[in-house]
Structure 1
Amino acid sequence: MPPRIPVTEAQIDHVVSRFYARVRADPSLGPVFRAHVSDWTAHEEKIGRFWRNALLLQRCYDGNPMQVHMAAGNVKSQHFAVWLSLFDEVLEQELPQSLARSWSALAHRIGRGLSYGLPQDQSADPVPFFGDG
């Protein structure tokens, strides 16, 4: 079966690494992730497998992202708009435009689905999703 999006494993690893460098520095996402991730190398490898599964159809990821995000307790649906914005920035900087757009559209669909099952922060202004995903 051909890949959903023709990126390479090296491109996936590079995007994941660059993205999590930004996450760690982000004032809203950094604390959320630091509360749960103690081994960034292992986390990035796991997320790399997630994207290989989603993009290259490799069947190498067997986690349940919805369950993990719900169980975390401090992940709110509004975090996904920030997550997607950072992810889009990395995609645009690191990949050819057509690959970046395709991967972004899939990321937005996944993010939208994950955010629906999470609590809304009633004190925050609603943050729209970006892109056409």
Structure 2
Amino acid sequence: MTSRRIPLIEPKAPIAEAQIDTLVRTFYGRVLEDEELGPIFRDAVGSRWDEHLATMVAFWSSVALGTGRYSGKPHLAHRDLGLDMDHFGRWLNLFEKTARDTCPPDAAAFFIDRAHRIAESLQIGLDIGPKALRLPKTGSA
């Protein structure tokens, strides 16, 4: 079986830091209002919202602009949150709507493409969903 590479979507116009900041802040404002995602994020982030938003702006700046400002470990950050496929679907739907509401169409398509790739990578790393690695559990027989 050969691996098929899916081409990346690239925006036609440059993306600005201000655009990333607006997307991130709008998105996480909506996340907090979401009946399923809100409690998960409030429990995980607590009173560190300003820090979390700055981290997410740095993350998306690294993704969109190649700034290298983000140096975290997303798989570790999400490991103990009890996430499932439904959470990822809800997160992606909310992100897509926010990207379309806050960005020009080509920038929205770029962010949505990257969000899906990131979600897939997280799901694989967290052993969630059909593409998860499903490594055998170790232990005594």
TM range, normalised to the smaller chain? 0.7 to 0.9
Structure whose CA Rg is larger: 2
Q: How many residue pairs end up in the alignment?
A: 118
TM-score with structure 1 setting the length: 0.81
Compute the RMSD of aligned alpha carbons: 1.8
Identity of aligned residues (%): 36
Secondary structure of residue in 2 paired with 1:36: helix
CA deviation after TM superposition for structure 1 residue 116, in Å: 2.0
Aligned position for 1:14 = 22
1:74-89 residue pairs with structure 2 within 5 A? Answer: 74-89=82-97
Match of 1:52 among 50, 61, 72: 61
Note the alpha carbon deviations across 1:30-78, whole angstroms, 9 max, x for none: 11111111221110000000001111000111101011111x2322243
Q: Structure 1 residue runs of 4+, over 3 Å off?
A: none
Q: Residues 73 and 102 from structure 1, CA distance in 2 versus in 1: closer, same or farther, beyond 3 angstroms? A: closer
TM-score with structure 2 setting the length: 0.77
Aligned position for 1:104 = 112
Task: Quote the Cα distance in structure 1 between the aligned partners of 2:69 and 2:28.
Answer: 20
Maintained 8 Å contact 1:77/1:118: no
Note the alpha carbon deviations across 1:77-116, whole angstroms, 9 max, x for none: 4311111100000110111111101111111111111112
Aligned position for 1:129 = none
Maintained 8 Å contact 1:19/1:86: yes
Q: Residues 91 and 46 from structure 1, CA distance in 2 versus in 1: closer, same or farther, beyond 3 angstroms? A: same
Aligned position for 2:139 = none
Letter in 1 for 2:126: L
Unaligned runs of 5+ in 1: 127-133
